[in-house]
């Protein structure tokens, strides 16, 4: 943590080190170049691994020197060879010397460095490179080697100075951080020596123990009194073997003049540089805590009386709860159950005795589901939340659909003190709804078939009736007005018109469409799934809804579309007598989707099962009336015929895709928005 706090100072330290290196090395190199008649003299400091140049400076250093020799440094050359040998490497002719890499021969020659000597610095990954147009003598090489040794000593000295400076800066920074931490502590903190004299005190302690000449006499007296009280207390801590335990100390507030009660906690410390020992004391202000304790004791008797009254009210409440048939659960604001009646205990609380071998999985699952439901109440602004919860009967393992009403109970200050949840079993209600819907579905299929039959009969009667009407019209128009038989023909013509009107009414009754309004397809599918969930689970059918969000509404009859989906769900369940998977998906499709028969934008609903499938020879007849693949005359053969008629009335499409033994998929496509159906 301390290193991270000091990290912004590192770039500044590195910059100072580079400046110090230039200040130290450049004058040395200038004198050395003049002494050995070297027009070019370089100092190269490598990275610790010796594969890259860290610093390059000296006399007449070209601007592109590092770029020129840096890429070939890892391939070898005179620099790495001199470092590896640990002694100078003189080169008489860079053009012919094998130690010079080919890519930089011409570069060295262009700098006038035909004669070259590379001198490694001892204990430092650095070299001196001296170059001129003629070779160096052995005496000059030895002189450069001696100079390299002196330069290495200078660098080592400079590095030691930099290390000491950095250590001093780190130490100063750490002291500043340490004092900053102590000053930030709200409680008084003092450091005393072996004579119990205060050596250091944070601002909170100075407020109690330090005075100034401009302070009032009363404040100075209070400070003197505090010091007089603190010194013997610290001495007692130092002398008592049990000094580590906290003790109480009463001081005076120099500003307010009130007594302050502190808990004093001491720890011994030792100055590692001087060996001096002392005590660090932290004074924890417990004045308010002591006053609160007194108030608690004062209120205890009142609480006991109130507790007795609360016990009587609790008895009445328990009596009421035990006589309510629905499960009632009372939880605290954290969601922990604090009270429940016997019907709720059967769902949430395992029995204490008996049924030892029965696992508690159902009870734990019910508790988790109720907690999840109540957690949503805390996220909403309303004080009452209603919804449904799926619980498990611990005795039969049946799934129970419960309506839940959770109400917050608030005190006089508006704080939530409890949440009362009343549960009501909807399982039988849902079963009754399901049977009612199935009965209505069967009745609607019969009525639709009867209406279709009546329409067909009316259509067949209408054709000869039109011929009779035309014949009567011709007879009436050709017969004289004074003919006595004309009145009978007119009677026959009027009655024929009346029969035609009755037939038109029959056709209109069959073709009348329900009132259309915006319908949420996903919502209808969820309602059907809720109605059939228990029945599907009983037949070991796993239902999965994969509904695309934000679908546009469909203009149509919600009851009729719900009838279609219910029929498809029931057909899928009957197609899987040994169980399986039923997957329902929705999405918004556009032109080009292969499942669509017509172009445009469609809301597509797919109902896919893993049942026995439909034989290929039957797939072309399943939408015909009175055609059924169900055994033992279980089906009427009208469900899919009626369903397809409803979809077509909504301007939609309905298709089937099936493979025997692999399952069946019904595809329904409905137009979004307004419909001409």
Q: What is the pLDDT of residues 306-359, one digit of tens each?
A: 888 888 877 777 777 777 778 888 888 887 888 888 888 888 888 765 544 556
Within this chain, domains 2-165 and 186-285 share the same CATH topology: yes
Q: What is the pLDDT of residues 356-396, one digit of tens each?
A: 455 678 888 888 888 888 887 667 767 787 878 878 888 88
Q: Above 80 in pLDDT, residue 88?
A: yes
Asked which of 71-75, 229-233, 279-283, 624-628 is least confident by mean pLDDT, the reply is 71-75
Q: Which two tokens stand for residue 182?
A: 């102590």
Q: Above 50 in pLDDT, residue 123?
A: yes
How distant, in Å, are the alpha carbons of 11, 58, 559 from that of 525?
Answer: 65, 84, 12
Q: What is the pLDDT of residues 155-199, one digit of tens each?
A: 888 777 777 777 777 777 777 887 777 778 888 988 888 887 888
Q: What is the CATH number of domain 186-285?
A: 3.30.450.20
- Of the candidates 457, 447, 507, which has an alpha carbon nearest to the alpha carbon of residue 646? 447
Query: Are the C-beta atoms of 575 and 612 separated by less than 8 Å?
Result: yes
Please give the helix or strand (H or E) that residue 554 lies within, else none: strand 554-556
Q: What is the pLDDT of residue 510?
A: 54
How distant, in Å, are the alpha carbons of 113, 120, 222, 345, 408 from that of 77?
Answer: 15, 13, 80, 87, 84
CATH topology assigned to domain 430-511: Helix Hairpins (1.10.287)
- Which carries the bigger pLDDT value, residue 448 or residue 268? 268
The share of the chain scoring above pLDDT 90, in percent, equals: 7
Q: If you write DSSP's letter for every residue of 329-354 in order, what string do you get?
A: EEE-TTS-EEEE-HHHHHHHS--SSS
- Of the candidates 332, 514, 481, 302, which has an alpha carbon nearest to the alpha carbon of residue 415? 332
Instruction: Give the C-alpha separation, 521 to 505, whole Å.
Output: 33
Q: Above 50 in pLDDT, residue 7?
A: no
Q: What is the CATH number of domain 517-670?
A: 3.30.565.10
Q: Which two tokens stand for residue 22?
A: 């230039």
- Of the candidates 369, 323, 329, 371, which has an alpha carbon nearest to the alpha carbon of residue 346? 329
- Which carries the bigger pLDDT value, residue 30 or residue 244? 30
Pick 2-165's CATH classification: 3.40.50.300, 3.40.1360.10, 3.30.450.40, 3.40.50.150: 3.30.450.40
Q: What is the pLDDT of residues 284-302, one digit of tens each?
A: 888 888 888 888 888 888 8
Q: Above 90 in pLDDT, residue 490?
A: no
The domain over range 324-425 is classified in CATH as 2.40.10.120: no
Angle at 152 between CA 149 and CA 156, to 5 degrees: 140
Domain boundaries, the chain: 2-165, 186-285, 324-425, 430-511, 517-670
């Amino acid at each position: 943590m301390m290193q991270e706090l000091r990290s912004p100072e590192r770039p500044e330290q590195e910059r100072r080190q580079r400046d110090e290196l230039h200040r130290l090395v450049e004058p040395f190199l200038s004198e050395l170049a003049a002494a050995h008649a070297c027009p070019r003299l370089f100092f190269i400091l490598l990275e610790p691994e010796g594969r890259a140049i860290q610093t390059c400076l000296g006399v007449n250093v070209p601007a592109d020197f590092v770029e020129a020799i840096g890429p070939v440094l890892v391939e070898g050359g005179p620099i790495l060879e001199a470092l590896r040998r640990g002694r100078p490497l003189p080169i008489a002719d860079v053009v012919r010397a094998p130690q010079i890499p080919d890519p930089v021969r011409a570069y060295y020659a262009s700098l006038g460095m035909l004669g070259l000597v590379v001198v490694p610095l001892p204990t430092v990954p650095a070299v001196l490179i001296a170059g001129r147009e003629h070779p160096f003598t052995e005496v000059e090489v030895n002189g450069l080697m001696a100079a390299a040794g002196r330069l290495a000593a200078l660098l080592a000295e400079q590095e030691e100075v930099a290390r000491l400076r950095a250590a001093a800066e780190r130490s100063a920074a750490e002291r500043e951080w340490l004092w900053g931490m102590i000053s930030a502590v709200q409680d008084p903190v003092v450091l005393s020596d072996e004579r119990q004299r205060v050596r250091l005190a944070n601002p909170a302690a100075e407020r109690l123990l330090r005075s100034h000449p401009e302070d009032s006499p009363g404040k100075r007296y209070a400070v003197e009194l505090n010091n007089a009280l603190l010194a013997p207390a610290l001495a007692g801590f130092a002398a008592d073997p049990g000094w580590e335990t906290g003790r109480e100390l009463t001081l005076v507030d120099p500003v307010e003049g009130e007594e302050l009660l502190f808990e004093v906690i001491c720890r011994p410390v030792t100055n590692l540089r001087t060996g001096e020992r002392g005590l660090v004391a932290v004074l924890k202000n417990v004045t308010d805590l002591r006053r609160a304790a007194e108030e608690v004791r004062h209120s205890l008797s009142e609480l006991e009386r109130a507790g007795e009254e609360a016990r009587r009210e609790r008895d009445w409440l328990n009596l009421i709860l035990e006589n309510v048939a629905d499960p009632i659960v009372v939880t605290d604001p954290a969601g922990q159950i604090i009270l429940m009646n016997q019907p709720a205990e059967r769902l949430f609380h395992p029995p204490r005795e008996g049924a030892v071998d029965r696992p508690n999985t159902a009870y734990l699952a019910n508790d988790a589901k109720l907690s999840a439901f109540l957690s949503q109440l805390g996220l909403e602004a309303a004080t009452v939340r209603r919804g449904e919860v799926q619980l498990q009967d611990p005795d039969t393992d049946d799934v129970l659909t419960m309506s839940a009403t959770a109400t917050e109970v608030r005190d006089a200050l508006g704080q939530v003190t409890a949440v009362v949840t009343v549960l009501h079993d909807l399982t039988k209600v849902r079963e009754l709804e399901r049977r009612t819907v199935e009965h209505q579905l069967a009745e609607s299929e019969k009525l639709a078939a009867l209406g279709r039959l009546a329409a067909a009969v009316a259509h067949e009667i209408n054709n000869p009736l039109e011929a009779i009407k035309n014949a009567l019209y011709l007879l009436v128009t050709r017969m004289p007005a004074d003919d006595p038989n004309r009145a009978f023909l007119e009677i026959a013509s009027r009655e024929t018109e009346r029969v035609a009107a009755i037939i038109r009414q029959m056709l209109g009754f069959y073709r009348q469409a329900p009132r259309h309004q915006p319908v949420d397809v996903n919502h209808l599918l969820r309602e059907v799934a809720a109605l059939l969930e228990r029945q599907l689970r009983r037949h070991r059918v796993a239902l999965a809804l994969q509904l695309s969000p934000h679908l546009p509404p469909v203009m149509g009859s919600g009851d009729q579309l719900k009838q279609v989906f219910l029929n498809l769900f029931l057909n899928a369940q009957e197609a899987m007598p040994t169980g399986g998977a039923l997957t329902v998906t929705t999405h918004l499709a556009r032109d080009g989707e292969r499942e669509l028969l017509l172009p445009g934008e469609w809301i597509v609903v797919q109902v896919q099962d893993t049942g026995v499938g439909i034989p290929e020879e039957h797939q072309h007849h399943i939408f015909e009336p009175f055609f059924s693949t169900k055994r033992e005359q279980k089906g009427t053969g009208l469900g899919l015929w009626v369903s397809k008629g409803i979809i077509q009335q909504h301007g939609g499409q309905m298709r089937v895709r099936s493979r025997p033994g692999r399952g069946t998929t019904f595809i329904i496509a409905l137009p979004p928005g307004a419909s001409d159906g």
